[in-house]
Amino acid sequence: MKRFLLGILLCLCTATFAHAQTTDFDRFVDMDGVTSVYVSKAMFDMMTDMQPGGLDLKGIINKLESLQVLSSEKSSVIEKMKNTARHALTRSNGYETLVRIHDNGEDTDIYQKKHSDKLNEFIVVTQEKKEFTVILITGRLDRDDLKGMIHQ
């Protein structure tokens, strides 16, 4: 499962992901015990000539606004991140659950929130035994774009 998620993350980092304007997860960016990675639209624009694995990265990259990954192995931070995810990623806040995976004690959920101008926010939440990771993707991606990346 971890390799599958890392593969998806590599595809996303090589070609995709966007960051929502302000999220409930922003408070974790500079927190001790949290690893934070942010990739901006400008960086994605510099990657448009890359075409690994037959993916149409240029088409996908042009749709991205940003990518942010937050990860922690610190139990007190994990609890805070889990509580934030539990309260923020609800239908009443505009999020729809797209995928739920449970595999050998590892849980992964993928959520989508639609914004104006075809802007979409995808949030991937992964919990392993001693690690919690949140990936925020914002852009003009649709489900077919994500499906194409996952099937590569």
Q: Which residue has the higher pLDDT, 143 or 131?
A: 131
Quote the CA–CA distance of 123 and 81 in Å, as a whole number: 13
The predicted pLDDT at position 59 comes to 72
Quote the CA–CA distance of 121 and 54 in Å, as a whole number: 25
Residue 8 Cα distances to 3, 88, 95, 100, 142, angstroms: 9, 23, 21, 15, 16
Mean pLDDT of the chain: 80
Global pTM reads 0.76
Confidence of residue 136 (pLDDT cuts 50, 70, 90): very high
Quote the CA–CA distance of 115 and 13 in Å, as a whole number: 22
Q: How many CB atoms lie within 10 A of CB 136?
A: 23
**Separation of CA 83 from chain center:** 17
- For residue 141, which of 133, 132, 150 has the smallest C-alpha distance? 150
Mean pLDDT of 38-45: 84
Confidence of residue 106 (pLDDT cuts 50, 70, 90): very high
Mean pLDDT of 119-144: 90
The predicted pLDDT at position 60 comes to 76
Max Cα-Cα span within the chain: 42
In this structure, what are the phi and psi dihedrals at residue 111, rounded to the nearest 5 degrees?
-120, 155
Lowest mean pLDDT among 62-66, 70-74, 78-82: 62-66
Strand order in the sheet with 64-72: 34-40, 64-72, 132-139, 120-127, 106-114, 95-103
The predicted pLDDT at position 90 comes to 93
Q: How many CB atoms lie within 10 A of CB 23?
A: 19
